[in-house]
Amino acid sequence: MSAKQCRFCKTHLTDTVVDLGMSPLSNSYVSPEQLNNKEAFYPLHAYVCPKCFLVQLEDFESPDTIFNDYAYFSSYSDTWLAHARQYTEKIRERFAITDKKLVVEIASNDGYLLQNFTEKCIPVLGIEPAANVAQTALEKGIPTEIDFFGRNLAQKLVDDGVKADLLLGNNVLAHVPDINDFVAGMKILLQKDGVITMEFPHLLKLMEERQFDTIYHEHFSYLSFETVEKIFGVHGLIMFDVEELPTHGGSLRVYACHSEFHGHVVTDRVASMKEKEVRFGLKEIDTYRAFAEKVKSLKLELLASLIKLKLQGKTIVGYGAPAKGNTLLNYCGIRTDFLEYTVDRSPHKQGKFLPGTYIPIFHPDEIRKTQPDYVLILPWNLKDEIMEQLEYIRKWGGKFIVAIPTVEVL
C-alpha cells in the first residue's frame, strides 16, 4: 500500500480511526545485548477507507522483517489449543474431511492445529513464513512450506499437484499487506469443490469494547464481515456462512467457496451479520471518528488506577508478553515505574525485554517468589485461563487487573 491509499480498493485515505503515536514493532523483543542499541519506532495510525470501510495501517516494515525470528508460538496457550481441537472435530464432521482429502493451513505456526488432523491420518500441509516457528512443526512431522502465501506460491503448489480440499487460516488475513494477492492465491489453491475457513478478530468487537491494543504493525488490516465479503467477491469467492467466536475478544469464522460452485446454501447468518454491522454503524464514518475518544478515556482510566495503587505503595507486575500488551504499554507510557516486570510461559520470550518499555520478562515462577499485590493481565482475552493458573496469589491477598474493555480489579 502506498502512503494513505487503501490496500484493497486504492481509495485515498483521510479519515483517522485512532492515532496511537509512535510505537516499536510489537513482537521485536529486546535481548540483554540490545538494551543500549537504538530502537526503531513507527507511526501506529489507523485509517478507515471511506469507500470499502477497510480499517488499516500504512506499511512501514516488510513482512520479512516482522516475521523474522518470530516470537509467537501458538502452543503455549491451553485455551487456543482447545479451540483448535474443537474446530478440527466440527469441520471434519460438517464437510466429511477424510484421509482422501488434503487440509492446507496458511500461517500454520508450530503445527498447533494441523496436528489434530494428522492424528486422524488426514494429509496436511502447513504454510508458515517464520522459519524458526515452522521448524517446530517440522519436528512434529507436519509437512510445512516455509514461505509467504500469495499468488506465486499458490501457483507453484498447484503446478506441483497440490490442491486444497480444506484451506484454512486463523488470524492471518489481517497480517498480509497485499490482501488482494493473498485472497487471489486462495482462489488458485482451492479445489473446485473445496472449502475455505478464515478466522479473524471482528472489527465490530474491537470498536465496541475499546480493544485498541489489538492494533499493531503486524496487523495491517482490521476486518468487518462485509468488507471481507467484498474482497472475496472481487476474487471469485463467495462467503456462505459465518460464526461468531469468543476468541481474541470476539472473532468471526467465515466459510467460503468458489463463486461458480453451487454446492453450499448461503445461510441466514450471512444476512444477519451484515445487518448487525449496519446497526452498529460500521458503514458510517462518524462511528470511526468517535473511536479515538473512547481509547483516550481508557488510557486515562488505566493510568489513574495504577497511579493510585503506586501511591499506596503497592507492587504491580504483568502476566504475559503478547503483542497487544506492547501496544497498550507503549501508548499509555507504562514502564518499570508502574510495572516491575512481566512473566510469560514461552521460553522464547523469557530473559528478554518488552519493546519500547524495556520491562523484563521472567518465568511465571517469579510471581511466587516476589508475591506482588497486583497482576496486570496483558492478554485479557485469556484472563480466565490465567486467573485459574495464578489462583495461588489469593493466598497473600494478591489481585488481578484487566484494562479492556474497562479497567477492573478482580
Residue 139 lies in a domain: yes
**335 domain-assigned:** yes
Residue 17 lies in a domain: no
Residues 328 and 201 in one domain: no
Please name the residues in contact with 65: beta carbons below 8 A apart, sequence gap of 6 or more.
Answer: 25
- Residue 66 is predicted with a pLDDT of 60
Residue 378 DSSP one-character state: S
**With contact defined as beta carbons under 8 Å apart, do 7 and 179 qualify?**
yes
Domain match, 165 and 262 both: yes
Q: How do residues 221-280 score in pLDDT, each as one tens digit?
A: 999 999 999 999 999 999 999 999 998 889 999 999 999 999 999 999 999 999 999 999
Overall domain count for the chain: 2
Same domain, 248 and 333: no
Hey, what's the cell of 325?
500488551
Domain finish residue from 240, 256, 288: 288
d(CA 115, CA 168): 14
CATH of residue 328: 3.40.50.720
Q: Is 333 left (phi over 0), alpha (psi -120 to 50) or beta?
A: left
Render 127-162 in DSSP notation, one character per residue: E-S-HHHHHHHHHTT--EE-S--SHHHHHHHHHTT-
243 Cβ contact partners less than 8 Å away, ≥ 6 residues apart? 252, 253, 269
Question: Do residues 270 and 333 share a domain?
Answer: no
| Residue bearing cell 482475552 | 381
The alpha-helical segments, DSSP class H, found in 105-253 are 114-118, 131-139, 151-159, 179-189, 203-208, 225-234
Measured CA to CA, the distance from residue 261 to residue 194 in angstroms comes to 9
Element (H, E) at 84: helix 78-95
CATH number at residue 279: 3.40.50.150
Tens of pLDDT along the chain (410 residues)?
A: 445 899 999 999 999 999 999 999 988 999 999 999 999 999 999 999 999 999 999 988 766 666 655 555 655 577 788 999 999 999 999 999 999 999 999 999 989 999 999 999 999 999 999 888 899 999 999 999 999 999 999 999 999 999 999 999 999 999 999 999 999 999 999 999 999 999 999 999 999 999 999 999 989 999 999 999 999 999 999 999 999 999 888 999 999 999 999 999 999 999 999 999 999 999 999 999 999 999 999 999 999 999 999 999 999 999 999 999 999 999 999 999 999 999 999 898 999 999 999 999 999 999 999 999 999 999 999 999 899 999 999 999 999 999 999 999 99
126: Cα within 13 Å, side-chain hemisphere: 30
Is 203 in the same domain as 335? no
**Residues 240 and 325 grouped into a single domain:** no
CA distance 99 to 118: 9
No. of helices (H) and no. of strands (E), the chain: 14, 17
In-domain check, residue 141: yes
Asked if residue 26 is part of any domain, the answer here is no
Domain range for 385 is 308-409
Q: Which of 172, 116, 166 minimizes the C-alpha distance to 140?
A: 116
| Residue 51 domain-assigned (yes or no) | no
Residue 144 lies in a domain: yes
Assess whether 79 and 107 both reside in one domain.
yes
Residue 58 near residue 43 (C-beta atoms within 8 A): yes
- For residues 327 and 260, state if they share a domain: no
For 217, the grid coordinates are: 504493525
Q: Check residue 132 and give its pLDDT.
A: 87
Does 115 lie in the same domain as 194? yes
Residue 347 cell numbers, joined: 521460553
Answer yes or no: do 128 and 242 share one domain.
Answer: yes
Q: Which of 224, 228, 248, 246 is nearest to 238 (CA)?
A: 228
Q: Which residues contact 179 (CB under 8 A, 6 or more apart)?
A: 7, 8, 173, 220, 221, 231
pLDDT score recorded for residue 267: 98
pLDDT given for residue 261 in this prediction: 96
